[in-house]
Chains A and B, each alone.
Chain A
């Protein structure tokens, strides 16, 4: 079974631009989460989508947004990029257990964003 895939793997942007990152989950996984990883802050949760709806949200400004499509693929967008947005952006997918148990998250390789 193919793993979580993310595109692009590397990206260079300048301040003020916007960027869109893409994530394809493992087949059968309907939940997609996004994380930002930086040396100073570690792994920080951005948001999670299930069934095209945002289910959980972290503490990030509104410049960070996301969406999920009917095939469970997800995109995240960052507008008006700042230098501090330089990071590794990780996507993770999991099944969504309506009974409430916590399914394991599986991570993609990440997109490394450099903002100049």
Chain B
């Protein structure tokens, strides 16, 4: 069965520091991979999506993620954290055939001034 593991339920960084949120997936077929962000009392907003066109995917708000097949990883990074990045981040995996997404448990990002 396909699954997603997000390492670290809570990550804290200083403003201006590198943001690294980890996501590993398990899949027997080529996956589609997503990162979503959720701000308090809101729904999920798409940050970026991997569809096999390029291994490095650039998203909104300066985030990017790199697909590494050998490591079955899709970690999310941002060079310099901003206070407005404080939110919960979800990694999700999906597959062709209109299948439902499988979400990780989420990582709450705190940004310290």
Contact = CB atoms under 8 A, between A and B. Distances in A.
Interface of A: 4, 6, 31, 33, 42-43, 45, 48, 50, 55-56, 58, 90, 92, 96-97, 100-102, 104-110, 112
Given A42-B105, A42-B106, A43-B90, A106 B98 contact: no
Contacts of A90: 43-44
Consensus secondary structure, chain B interface:
loop
Contacts, number: 57
Contacts of B100: 33, 45, 48, 56, 58
Given A102-B94, A104-B34, A107-B36, A45 B101 contact: yes
A33 B44 CA distance: 13
A87 to B, nearest CB: 13
Contacts of B46: 104-106
Smallest CB-CB A-B distances: 3 pairs: A107-B43, A43-B103, A107-B44
Nearest to A44: B103
Nearest to A91: B43
Given A42-B105, A42-B106, A107-B36, A31 B43 contact: no
B9 to A, nearest CB: 10
A92 B90 CA distance: 15
Interface string B27-56: 000001010100001111110010100000
A101 to B, nearest CB: 6
Nearest to A3: B43
21 contacts: A33-B100, A42-B104, A42-B105, A43-B90, A43-B103, A48-B100, A55-B98, A56-B100, A92-B44, A100-B98, A102-B95, A102-B96, A102-B97, A104-B46, A104-B49, A105-B46, A105-B101, A107-B36, A108-B43, A110-B43, A112-B41
Contacts of B70: none
B84 interface: no
Contacts of A105: 46, 101
Interface in B49-67: 49, 51
A100 B96 CA distance: 5
Contacts of A92: 44
